[in-house]
Chains A and B, each alone.
Chain A
Amino acid sequence: MTIAISPTTVSAAIAALSISGVTLKDIDEIPESAQMLTPLIVPRPNDFITNIKPEAKSFGSNGSELMDVSYSLNYVFCYTEIGSGINAFAPYSGLLSMLILIINTILNNDKVNGLVDIQLESIGDIGSVEDFAGNKFWGCNFSLRCLEFAQ
């Protein structure tokens, strides 16, 4: 037996979550720009997988030991372009409502394909975020903490 983790399987399962009104993208679907695609949740390519923590749970070596591996998957949520709406803060209420919907969905789906456990790890400041083309959107960054039994 060998140790193996599968964050790509996990990413695909997360992308398959159903959140009303929001499009979730997998790692092979990252758009160059979020314009015209919002509301959108997309992996952050600069730091999608972080804080990988292997933890041996038994004796063994060369891949024979029982091992837990936890890691963080980082996403950006783009709600709508800044400047949308009839005034500067018109989208803000809708942003929070949709963010709460996203949080509730994730908290109610703590087991996705490829994982033993998934938890909402953190949510960054809610406000201005950028897509990969530098366009500014209302939204936030958030992280999911994943646990796999790698062996």
Chain B
Amino acid sequence: MTIGRTVNKHTRVYADGYDLSGNTRTIGPLAWTFDEGDLTCLPDEVKGALPGHATLGIGTLNGVFSNTATTGLHTVMSTAGVKRTVMIPIGIQTAPAQGDPVYMGQFEQSGYQQEEAYVNIPFALPSVTNTTLLYDKPWGWLLHAKGAETAVNTAIGIDDIGASTAFGGYMMYQVFAGNGTATIKVQDAATNLNASFADLSGCTSGSINCATVQSGIIAVSKTATVRRYLRWQIVFGTATTVTFALSFVRATY
């Protein structure tokens, strides 16, 4: 993880287990805004408000029309009106790495508009089947950058906010390739040592067939304790290699 500014080319877009980055020109705005409940009373000198419902959204994906088999933008995204599980990691001056910021959620793809060599893919509000409707926070951290793993994780994790929390959170996984079943999960720890990490209860994909693309979003209880340090973990079933990305949003209120 690098700290600092970045440029657009280090952003990636993953949807439903497909890496759309190579066909994507722009995406956004990555929105997170709140309704304002006006609670101004007569004696108040200035108007005031409390935040109401949050609005999340990923705007419009503008990309290159491509019908490349299996992975082309047209091949993957030409059906509108469906829920998409979208992860947008933002690499800092290099490709996304563990600890980099991620915007994520499940959004309704509200259209597919092709014009000349390009397509516009607008996204509406988060899907009503989105388990993150429990949470109004879309920004998290990348725990595992897209890449293949052939062994369990014994490395230390990230220190995302410097403290433990007790407000739950949710994970998202994107499985791009594999050769069998595996379970992807989030682990947390009070100290950043391999031996200290244990599964974050409920934050697991369950056994999934990684021989086909997979994606999912798993929320834990809104009162779950999430210890200070976070890392990815994988348990191999029949698979010996899995290429995936994993991110986690820690709720802080």
Interface residues of A (CB under 8 A from B): 57, 66, 110-111, 116-117, 147, 149
Contacts and interface: CB of A to CB of B under 8 A. Distances in A.
A149 B10 CA distance: 15
A117 B5 contact: no
A66 B5 contact: yes
Nearest to B9: A117
Interface of B: 4-5, 7, 9, 93-94
Nearest to A110: B9
Nearest to B93: A116
A57 B93 CA distance: 16
Contacts of B94: 111
Given A116-B93, A149-B5, 11 more contacts: A57-B5, A66-B5, A110-B9, A111-B93, A111-B94, A116-B7, A117-B7, A117-B9, A147-B7, A149-B4, A149-B93
8 contacts: A66-B5, A111-B93, A111-B94, A116-B93, A117-B7, A147-B7, A149-B4, A149-B5
Contacts of A66: 5
A111 B93 CA distance: 9
Nearest to A151: B5
B21 to A, nearest CB: 15
A37 to B, nearest CB: 34
A111 B95 CA distance: 11
Contacts of B93: 111, 116, 149
A57 B4 CA distance: 13
A117 B93 CA distance: 9
9 closest cross-chain pairs (CB), A and B: A149-B5, A116-B7, A116-B93, A117-B7, A66-B5, A111-B94, A149-B4, A117-B9, A147-B7
Contacts of B9: 110, 117
Nearest to B8: A117
A8 to B, nearest CB: 20
Contacts of A111: 93-94
A147 B5 CA distance: 13
A66 B93 CA distance: 15
Contacts of A147: 7
Contacts of A116: 7, 93
Nearest to B4: A149
